[in-house]
């Protein structure tokens, strides 16, 4: 569904992504793990058209979307749940959902009901301003808002960031749920343990290069991954 070929991105004068290849098959969950500043967010932002790539190719359903405007990329069925949730604090929960469907012509009400099914908490807080929600609820709203665009591919940037462990589990359950309903997911996480458990396939990004890749569960067992990202390597 999404094929990234030799993508290079410069960000703030430095080369943040140095020629990476990523393949996201249809209906899969693919995760990109790595430390802060490895270039994970930059990769997602380049796919969404928020930063201009230097070179390479990003093919979505066979069409090169590199260099396209964000609006057109969203219209093609790619949405990004940005890091730090970024809900519109001055809009109500319902309005946040409606604005997620900004490019949709019809079926908006049905989609709202689907999102409310997925997140009953949002329905309860429908009229509340999004800024008054808790962190976990805001993350639900950010995901729900992205779903409103009926995306084929949904990208999530650190959905567990700053949330309590119990809430984090809930978020990962939702990610699996959304995937089961047929949406392809590209997930960025610092919580490598959780991310690799839900992912079909994973890539490890280090200072702009992919250093390892493999099935989620395989990476989870890999000694180098364990040592660098999971913190569970046995001391000798």
Partner 1 sequence: MTFEVFMQQLANGISIGSLYALLAIGYTMVYGILRLINFAHGDIFMMSAYFMVFGMVTFGLPWYVSAAIVIVAAVALGVLIEKAAYKSLRDAPRMSIMISAIGVSFLLENLATYLFTGVPKGFPDIDILTRAISFGNVSLSVATLVTPVVTIILLFVVLFITNKTKIGMAMRAVSKDFETARLMGININRVISTTFVIGSALAAVGAILWGSKYPSVIPLMGVMPGLKCFIAAVLGGIGNTTGAVLGGFILGMSEIMLVSFLPSLTGYRDAIAFIILIIVLIVKPTGLLGEKVTDKV
CA nearest neighbour of 136 among 188, 176, 171, 92: 171
Pairing state of beta strands 55-60 and 63-64? antiparallel
* Residue 72 region by backbone torsions, left for phi larger than 0, else alpha for psi between -120 and 50, else beta: alpha
> Is the separation of the CB atoms in 72 and 47 below 8 Å?
no
The site that binds partner 1 (CB under 8 A) totals a number of residues, namely 22
- Please report whether residue 86 would count as binding partner 1 according to CB under 8 A: yes
Q: Which stretch binds partner 1 (CB under 8 A): 4-12, 92-100, 174-182, 189-197?
A: 92-100
- Please report whether residue 64 would count as binding partner 1 according to CB under 8 A: no
Site for partner 1 in 3-32 (CB under 8 A): none
Report CA dihedral (54, 158, 27, 219) to the nearest 10 degrees.
Answer: 90
Angstrom distance (rounded) from CA 67 to CA 149? 21
Work out how close the CB of 49 gets to partner 1 at its nearest, in angstroms, rounded to a whole number: 8
- Please report whether residue 102 would count as binding partner 1 according to CB under 8 A: yes
- Please report whether residue 90 would count as binding partner 1 according to CB under 8 A: yes
The residue ranges that bind partner 1 (CB under 8 A) are 48, 50, 70-71, 74-75, 79-80, 82, 86, 88-91, 95, 98-100, 102-103, 145, 149
């Amino acid at each position: 569904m999404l094929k990234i070929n030799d993508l290079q991105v410069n960000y703030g004068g430095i080369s943040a992504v140095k020629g990476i290849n990523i393949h996201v098959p249809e209906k899969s969950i693919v995760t990109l793990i790595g430390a802060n500043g490895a270039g994970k967010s930059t990769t997602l932002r380049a796919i969404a058209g928020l930063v201009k790539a230097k070179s390479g190719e990003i093919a979505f359903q066979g069409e090169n979307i590199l260099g396209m405007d964000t609006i057109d990329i969203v219209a093609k069925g790619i949405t990004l749940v940005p890091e730090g949730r970024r809900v519109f604090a001055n809009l109500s929960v319902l309005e946040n959902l409606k604005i997620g469907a900004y490019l949709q012509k019809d079926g908006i009400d049905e989609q709202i009901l689907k999102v409310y099914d997925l997140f009953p908490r949002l329905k309860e807080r429908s009229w509340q301003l999004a800024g008054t929600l808790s962190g976990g609820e805001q993350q639900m709203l950010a995901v729900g808002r992205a779903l409103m665009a009926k995306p084929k591919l949904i990208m999530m940037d650190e959905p567990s960031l700053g949330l309590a462990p119990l809430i984090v589990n809930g978020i990962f359950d939702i990610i699996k749920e959304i995937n089961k309903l047929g949406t392809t997911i590209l997930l960025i996480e610092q919580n490598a343990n959780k991310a690799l458990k839900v992912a079909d396939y994973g890539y490890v990004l280090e200072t702009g290069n992919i250093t390892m890749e493999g099935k989620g569960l395989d990476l989870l067992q890999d000694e180098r991954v364990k040592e660098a990202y999971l913190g569970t390597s046995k001391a000798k």
